[in-house]
C-alpha cells in the first residue's frame, strides 16, 4: 500500500481516535469482498466512510430483485412502499461486513 498518503490520512483524520484492531478487521473483510473493486480505496473509505473510494460493483437485475424481496418493497431510506420499477438499486450500507444491498425509491432523499 505504498501509494497511500498515510501521513496525509493521519493528519486529516486523526487516526489515534480509531481502534486499530477494529480497523484491521474491517480491512480484512473488505479485502476479500469481491464487490470491492478498488482495494487501495479501502484505506480512504475507513477514514471518511465515502463508498466511492471502493468502486463497488454495480447491481445486477437479480441482485436488485433479491433486495426488493428482502425489503418487501419498502424504501430503505423513507420506509414507504414502492413497486420494483419505481426503485433504484445501488445504495449499500457497510454494517460493517459484508456489504448489504439495498434499494430505495427513485426520489432523492
CB atoms near residue 39 (< 10 Å): 15
Query: Which range in 5-13, 58-66, 69-77, 93-101 contacts Zn ion by CB under 5 A?
Result: 69-77
CB atoms near residue 77 (< 10 Å): 14
Binding of residue 58 to Zn ion (CB under 5 A): no
Query: Which range in 7-15, 62-70, 76-84, 95-103 contacts Zn ion by CB under 5 A?
Result: 76-84
Among 4, 31, 58, 78, binds Zn ion (CB under 5 A): 78
Cite the DSSP H helix spans in the chain.
6-13, 20-31, 41-48, 61-70
Binding of residue 77 to Zn ion (CB under 5 A): yes
Nearest alpha carbon to residue 67 among 87, 46, 52: 87
Least spacing, CB of residue 71 vs Zn ion, in Å: 11
How many chain residues touch Zn ion (CB under 5 A)?
A: 4
Binding of residue 75 to Zn ion (CB under 5 A): yes
**Measured distance CA(92)–CA(100) in Å, rounded:** 6
List the grid coordinates of 34: 469481491
Under the rule (CB under 5 A), what is the footprint of Zn ion?
Answer: 75, 77-78, 105
Amino acid at each position: 500500500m505504498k501509494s497511500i498518503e498515510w501521513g496525509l490520512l493521519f493528519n486529516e483524520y486523526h487516526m489515534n481516535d480509531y481502534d486499530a484492531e477494529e480497523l484491521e478487521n474491517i480491512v480484512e473483510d473488505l479485502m476479500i469482498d469481491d464487490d470491492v473493486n478498488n482495494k487501495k480505496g479501502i484505506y480512504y473509505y475507513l477514514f471518511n466512510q465515502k463508498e466511492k473510494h471502493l468502486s463497488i460493483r454495480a447491481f445486477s437485475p437479480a441482485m436488485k430483485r433479491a433486495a426488493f424481496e428482502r425489503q418487501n418493497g419498502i424504501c430503505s431510506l423513507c420506509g414507504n412502499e414502492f413497486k420494483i420499477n419505481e426503485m433504484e438499486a445501488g445504495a449499500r450500507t457497510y454494517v460493517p461486513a459484508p456489504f448489504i444491498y439495498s434499494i430505495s425509491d427513485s426520489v432523492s432523499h
